[in-house]
Amino acid sequence: MTHPLDSLRRRGAASRRLLLRAGAGSALGAALWPGLARAQAPAAAAASASASQAAPAPWRNWSGLQQCQPRRHFVPANEAELAQALRDAPAGTTLRSVGAGHSFTPLVPTDQWLVSLDRLSGVARAPVAGAALVQGGTRLAVVSRQLDTLGLALPNLPDIDVQSYAGAISTGTHGTGRELPALHAEVQALRLVTARGEVVECSASKNPELLAAARVSLGSLGVITQAQVRVVPAYNLHRHVWLEPAMQLLERAPELARKHRNFEFYYLPFTGYAAGITHDVDTSAEVLTVQAADEDVLRDLRRLRDWLGFSPALRRKVAGWLIDPKQTEDARNRAWRLLATQRPTRFNETEYHVPAEAGLACVKEVIAALEKRSEVFFPLEFRFVAADDAWLSPFYQRASCSIAVHAAADEAHDYLLSEIGPIFQRHGGRPHWGKLHSLGAAQLAALYPRFKDFQALRRDMDPEGRLLNPHLRSLLGVTA
């Protein structure tokens, strides 16, 4: 009978596998990480257009942690139909917008109306140079592909690209890059359908305060039907991935972030190693692809945990024996083909954004806490994000380091909130709106200088709270 650790014991094969992981698929990411295949239908899309007529299916988010049974799953064909339906909705109806269901927090669940813009999808050139019009329901992968046909691209992308554009900006979704802000920071103008069924527009010259509030608004100000977004000429990137002793890479992180367009690292728990990933603009026009990333490394890390979790020292020793830090991996391609990856294995996640200068001290504390828990095996992700000025942006007037900690969807994740959350909070962290955290309105108000302004604007736009569910009420301090 084959011993489950046999693959890890054969140094050559195993180290090559770890290496492939580390380098492949954008990174370790793909190698070590869980996620959704681009081709796979998002959970929230399970209810199709016809669901507006039929009894809706139960809804669940990507990780399966959040679920609901809506009374109606409304998938309007166009903005006018959406506005009419909101005007006609019976008094007291709660409506929650849903994108691709890739948030971990209970932002979406309602037992009343779910509104999905799956049929409002597409990209066009904007009337102004250097910008595109993106319909709210467009998946990021579709945004990238359609922009590419126009010779254009988004300046940056998150780890995956299955999210809807409106859903992604609504929670402050970001990639990595010291000089690169989150997606919503590139939004120049928005169209929303309000709770009253009115279509409103905002931009720097028209309703600028609404633009500042609505770019990250958790579906609480209206349904975003279209965004005018800054784009850049299509570009290629060169990706480089390597393994390095973790503490050494941590110390080099600020310098690497200054030197490279995109830099991030994944810390591999109980191995002593981290994987560095850089992306830089590539003008060579060469295309260099890598073997599609699979999840062998994640499985190997899990196996190491399962078999050697009883002895952190032995686990670290075996991991050090298996990992060959000399191996590296390089890829060259269109930016969107490299920046976003696939995450087949499901997980739950917390992520906070701490002031950039607190990033290293914070991540060291988080690593120390994680390594006290023998069940931990998922890599930790560390990224850099530039500041912006959206009122509820976690990066509001603050360059940040984003630190993300994951737990397998089929395992307990309570320590993400009880043990890891307080460390982030001590370092002044603002939680990712779409990832697990336990903060309420009072704590959030202390973290966001424009929080009260947002509350007032929301009250004006939706005095009856038709766009709120219990989670939103607790976040935004709405009791009535």
Ligand X SMILES: Cc1cc2nc3c(=O)[nH]c(=O)nc-3n(C[C@H](O)[C@H](O)[C@H](O)COP(=O)(O)OP(=O)(O)OC[C@H]3O[C@@H](n4cnc5c(N)ncnc54)[C@H](O)[C@@H]3O)c2cc1C
Residues 6+ apart with CB under 8 A from 317: none
Of the ranges 85-93, 94-102, 298-306, 450-458, which one interacts with ligand X (CB under 6 A)?
94-102
Residues within window 37-56 making contact with ligand X, judged by CB under 6 A = 44
107 binds ligand X (CB under 6 A): yes
Separation CA 425–CA 396 (nearest Å): 16
243 binds ligand X (CB under 6 A): no
Q: Phi-psi bin for 377: left (phi > 0), alpha (psi -120 to 50), beta?
A: alpha
228 binds ligand X (CB under 6 A): no
Q: Which of 22, 195, 210, 224 binds ligand X (CB under 6 A)?
A: 224
394 binds ligand X (CB under 6 A): no
For residue 275, the cross-strand partners are 243, 266
What are the Cα distances from residue 326, in Å, to 243, 245, 323?
7, 11, 9
Q: Which of 83, 108, 143, 318 binds ligand X (CB under 6 A)?
A: 108
CB of 11 to ligand X, least distance (A): 32
Closer by beta carbon to ligand X, 19 or else 159: 159
Of the ranges 70-78, 82-90, 100-108, 324-332, which one interacts with ligand X (CB under 6 A)?
100-108
Q: How many CB atoms lie within 10 A of CB 464?
A: 14
Residue identified by tokens 């002593």 is 272
97 binds ligand X (CB under 6 A): yes
Please answer whether residues 260 and 341 qualify as being in contact, where contact means their C-beta atoms are separated by less than 8 angstroms. no
Q: Which of 23, 181, 219, 465 binds ligand X (CB under 6 A)?
A: 219
State whether residue 150 is helix, strand or coil. coil
136 binds ligand X (CB under 6 A): yes
Closer by beta carbon to ligand X, 164 or else 400: 164
Separation CA 119–CA 226 (nearest Å): 12
Q: Which of 26, 163, 262, 348 binds ligand X (CB under 6 A)?
A: 163
DSSP 201-254: EEESSSSHHHHHHHTT-TTSS-EEEEEEEE-EE--EEEEEEEEEEHHHHHHHHH
Please answer whether residues 182 and 389 qualify as being in contact, where contact means their C-beta atoms are separated by less than 8 angstroms. no
62 binds ligand X (CB under 6 A): yes
Q: Identify residue 117 by its one-letter amino acid code.
A: L
17 binds ligand X (CB under 6 A): no
Q: Which of 23, 56, 76, 101 binds ligand X (CB under 6 A)?
A: 101
State whether residue 397 is helix, strand or coil. coil
Binding-site ranges for ligand X (CB under 6 A) = 35, 44, 62, 96-103, 107-108, 117, 136, 158-160, 163-164, 166-168, 170-171, 173-174, 218-219, 223-224, 343, 432, 434
